[in-house]
Structure 1
């Protein structure tokens, strides 16, 4: 089935890591996997998880102000604690925490009320399930040997129990079926796939189950060969992945809430990440970590608001666009209107004398500063036969510059015709 068109035009999503790990502010699941926190202490956080100020409507309103079109909530991370009242054996927030209620239902309802697409994160792995550490990866690959030695992942004695693994897959499939059947998410964001092979996970059967219940569900690439789009993390790729993709990025350095992590990216840095990502045809999935009570820290909310304000001033360069110029044509990100007749040049640094664009064969009708409408003089210098000259655009006045990044709208005479040759010799 072809990729759902809403995804590629969404541009921005919000990734919400919310779970019991916010009680002590420790890394989600990984803190007990690595031994940073004793397993018993990690699990005692169940007793302190209240969600006492959980307001998914306020979340949704913030995400809309941020300019997001979808969000992804950690319905169940590797620690196995489900945020909904699963009917399967296992840990869940309604039954095992003071929160005492389904947190996924309120989230999905609130997002839909505000016109946002619903994404749910689910980890294939469950490091607390009694049947999970029952088999080993057949070929973990170099540097991944811990997959077959960590006690939460593989059998300690190396002896596999295939019956236990079969029971685990029944549990996983039933939980995924609950998520799809109850909440009808637009997107399922899987994780943990590296711990088993595709055949061990029975990915083909899982994909078939999901799509039989909801054929339009978007699946990420952590469904391995049954995923719809790639999910690089924490760094803009130098070369974009083939096909649809999404950069997963945290506002600070942590996915979940960690009270001592104050290394928040500035609004300007987030604008840079965002424009570089959409300029290469991807989406940005920006991660926030609510406190255990359900409130999003002010430092993170302020940055979402700041990014949203920039997007609001430059929405024509964001929504309804495709990837812009390849590297080397313009020193900064760019996008291209869907009809391929308007280039949007992002100037991350203040232009001094002029902005240069190489390789555009089209005549230019006009150039304007997006947001203020100021028109800029421009001219083409040089060129020979089929090799176009350089388009020089006069720098905007100081009054027309944007605090984070200025965008120039270059209206072309026809669809973009780009030269990428070696020049005439």
Structure 2
């Protein structure tokens, strides 16, 4: 079915990694997998998970303030710990931690109250489930998947009955998420540890969409996903189809107290502009502490990004991917009607800003946010090869310290020259 329009219009989502790993501030699930934290000690974090200051309404207001249209919460990560009141499996926040609350239910209600779309993360894999390491991957992608005791049977002998029990557990939990919370988006993970048929993805996708036909699925549903999910680096070329860049505010997905390498607001604006300039969404990850509060540095980053988005809303919302590389030194977006180009300038423009290969005549140029009009002229050009459009640099008072955006209004729909010039 076609992609849900809300997703491609969203531009920004917030990714929240929240679980018992926040208690000791260890790498989410991976510290268990790597052996950095023994299983018994990892699970002792259950006793310290209080969510004592968890306020889903405050989260939702912060995400809306950041300019996000949706959020994705780790309902269950690879460690098997569930944030909702599940009838499948033993590890959950309601019955096995001091929190004693269905955190997913509160999150879902709060997001919808703010008009935000609800995303839930769920890992296909569960490194704590007794039946998980019961079958081998038919074509393991790496040595770890082929041999790790949390993934593969120790004797190398498959146990199909155990695997069937695991899939029933997985399907039961996903079914609960769909029926109770009706998420707009299901963000799966862990898919690399099995093949599509082993996971039973055809049947799982059918069940999800039968429960809610409008559910968006990410590419970690393999052949049943709706969009791609590159991580931690803006692609150099626009991916085909819908996509989303997953990016951490610092260097960690979940809360790790020693990680203070938070990206600046200016850097986040750059990531965001480069992503939407290639037609993608930015899914920006923050990690709350075990009590449910975010570090002040992360709040400041979200609010700062939100301020920039609000000021430049016309260049963000109801736009599509802008110019291909080579036309402008920076990212750009294009209005839905194809008649206004938005040029992003990360550094304060000096003297002029140039735009190459533009065949369409320009009606006017202004600074987004201030409305200041800018002079512009074309030099050169011969035959089918257009000249260069030169736009006067805005006055210092009209320059945005994080990124200045120029609106180039066209007399007709955008028409670009992409040739090699006269031979």
* TM-score, scaled relative to structure 1: 0.99
- 2:322 alignment counterpart: 324
Tell me the residue number matched to 1:55.
55
1:192 match:
190
Which one of 262, 272, 275 corresponds to residue 274 of structure 1?
272
5+ residue gaps, structure 1, are none
- Per-residue CA shift, 1:126-178, capped at 9, x if unaligned? 0000000001111113xx11102111111111111111001101110110000
Within-5 A mapping of 1:13-412:
13-141=13-141, 144-412=142-410
Number of residue-to-residue matches in the alignment: 423
Identify the range of structure 1 (82-91 vs 125-134) with the bigger mean alpha-carbon deviation: 82-91
1:349-403 residue CA offsets vs partner (Å, 9 max, x unmatched): 1111110111110000000000111100000111111111111101111111001
Distance 1:398 1:48 in 2: 52
Q: Give the conservation status (yes or no) of the 8 Å contact 1:124–1:193.
A: yes
Deviation at 1:89, TM superposition (A): 2.4
CA distance in 1: counterparts of 2:181 and 2:362, whole angstroms: 49
Worse-superposed segment, 83-92 or 128-137: 83-92
1:90 and 1:129 in contact (8 A); partners too: no
Q: Distance in 1 between matches of 2:69 and 2:13?
A: 6
Q: Secondary structure at the match of 1:208?
A: helix
Runs of 4+ more than 6 Å apart:
none
Retained in 2: the 8 A contact 1:354–1:393? yes
- Per the normalisation by structure 2, the TM-score is 0.99
What are the ranges of 5 or more consecutive residues in structure 2 without an aligned counterpart?
Answer: none
Offset from partner CA, 1:287-328 (integer Å, 9 cap, x none): 000000000111001000000000011000000000000001
